[in-house]
Amino acid sequence: MKRPKANRRRFLALGAGLAGLSACKKEVPSEIGEGVRPYGERSPYERAARDVRESKTPGTSSTRTPLQDLDGMITPSSLHFERHHAGVPDLDRSKHEILLHGLVEQPMVFTMDDLRRFPSVSRIYFVECSGNSGAEWIHPLEDPQKASGMVSCSEWTGVPLSSLLKVARLKPEAKWIVAEGADACLMARSIPLDKALDDTLVALAQNGEPLRPEQGYPVRLVVPGWEGNINIKWLHRLHVVDQPSMTRDETSHYTDSMPGGKARIFTFDMEAKSIITRPAGGQKLAGGPGTYEITGLAWSGHGKIERVEISTDEGKTWAAAELQTPVLSKAATRFRMAWKWTGQATSIQSRSIDETGYKQPSRDELVAARGTRSQYHYNGIKVWYIKEDGSVSHV
């Protein structure tokens, strides 16, 4: 049988590939690498970090998640945003307890070991500070971290709050639960009983390991889809009552100022929202004209994200993005779309639609309905402007 003639072009391509492999060998360390560590850490070549903001008031601080540096839907525990009103308490799980009392037949005290005896569940939920993006009521912010970095998504493991309430046996007049934290300010919020009995978790773990101190160790509430402040950290008391307690953080704070001087109160749900994280403010399409991936995150406190639409022509037309599965209720959803940039200046933006049919509004629509006096619950469409040199900006 005759052997086929060698293809010169194929041979040259193979030779180039081998040359590339030879060059790659130079990157392989000639010495034995480091050994295993007791607790794994990321590569020092990865620089993702939270944006830390300290207040002049001691213990009051916050951090923002670097959304532009993340992939997928889960936020690493170390990059989950934080919001503290009185610092992070140092709590020993062997001594910490939760008091459940009020309108129950049997008041209870639960140790952390007691909670571990209950059947547990793991659920993926986002947590978003109601002040996330709040500055954008007035002016746009320059990158995804600053614009929307007070939202994160984790796998939470714990005991359904309904299980604890069942043991304590609610009285007929029970309508609300006041949850209180063990931080110095005794952060407390009122939760309607139907939400407490629905999907609220008494969480002990995040992303497969015990909660970190900044996230409420040893135990916190996770109230899916509702504003972050109600997800009480360092939980130590559950008071069952017949009406909301009207705490400081549900009256003087965490209310929505409206045109005309009135305010909305108990606006628990975080409505549908999305943001493109790449390409986004502070980045550059460094390769010049060509195909790029547009990607970002969408979420809704009403349930699942049904659809995300992207415009690459200043809002004139919209196309459906691909949603990464699984698409879960009250969890962050990663969206993607291939886009061919021509090299001309334009703008890109995304809008999310949840399973209730609610569509993320533009900033103009939001301001027309609610004015600019609020600092909470901003979910307007975020626009990124791409200039001819490939740089991406918020203006």
State pLDDT tens for residues 359-391: 999 999 999 999 988 899 999 999 999 999 999
Question: Where are the domains positioned within the chain?
Answer: 61-264, 273-393
* Model confidence at 189: pLDDT above 90: yes
Q: Is the pLDDT of residue 15 over 60?
A: no
Q: Which of 10-19, 125-134, 201-210, 250-259 has the lowest mean pLDDT?
A: 10-19
Residue 10 has what pLDDT?
A: 46
Fold for domain 61-264? Sulfite Oxidase; Chain A, domain 2 (3.90.420)
Residue 20: pLDDT over 80:
no
pLDDT at 4 over 50: no
pLDDT at residue 79, as a whole number:
98
Against a cut of 0.75, is the pTM above it? Answer: yes
Residue 28: the pLDDT is 75
Rounded to the nearest integer, the mean pLDDT of the chain is: 93
Indicate the range of 7-11, 73-77, 132-136 predicted with least confidence.
Answer: 7-11
Q: What are phi and psi of 141, to 5 degrees?
A: -105, 155
pLDDT score, position 26:
64
Which pLDDT does position 87 carry in this prediction?
95
Please provide the DSSP assignment of 17-76 as one string. Answer: HHHHHHHHHTTS-SS------SS----TT-----EEEE-SSTT-EEEE--GGG--SSPPP
pLDDT digits (tens, 9 = 90+) for 333-365: 999 999 999 999 999 999 999 999 999 999 999
Please report the pLDDT score of residue 378 as a whole number. Answer: 97
Least reliable range by pLDDT among 15-19, 171-175, 276-280: 15-19
Mean pLDDT of 231-246: 97
- Write down the pLDDT at residue 29: 75
Let me know: does 219 contact 181? Beta carbons within 8 Å: no
| CATH 2.60.40.650 correct for 273-393 | yes
Strands 383-386 and 346-354: antiparallel
Residue corresponding to tokens 């009552």? 241
CA–CA dist 340, 290 (Å, integer): 5
Nearest Cα to 381, choosing from 309, 328, 324? 309
* In contact, 206 and 77? CB cutoff 8 Å: yes
Give dist(CA 20, CA 27) in Å, integer.
12
Select the more confidently predicted residue: 62 or 24: 62
**Is the predicted pLDDT of residue 236 greater than 80, yes or no?**
yes
Q: Identify how many contiguous H helices and E strands the chain contains and give both numbers.
A: 6, 24
Sign of CA pseudo-dihedral 112, 116, 117, 119:
positive
Q: What is the pLDDT of residue 24?
A: 52
Q: What is the pLDDT of residues 89-108, one digit of tens each?
A: 999 999 999 999 999 999 99
Mean pLDDT of 316-339: 98
SS3 label, residue 257: strand
pLDDT of residue 14: 42
Model confidence at 25, in pLDDT bands (50, 70, 90)?
low
- Return the percentage of the chain with pLDDT > 90, whole number: 85
Q: Per-residue confidence at 260, pLDDT binned at 50, 70, 90? A: confident
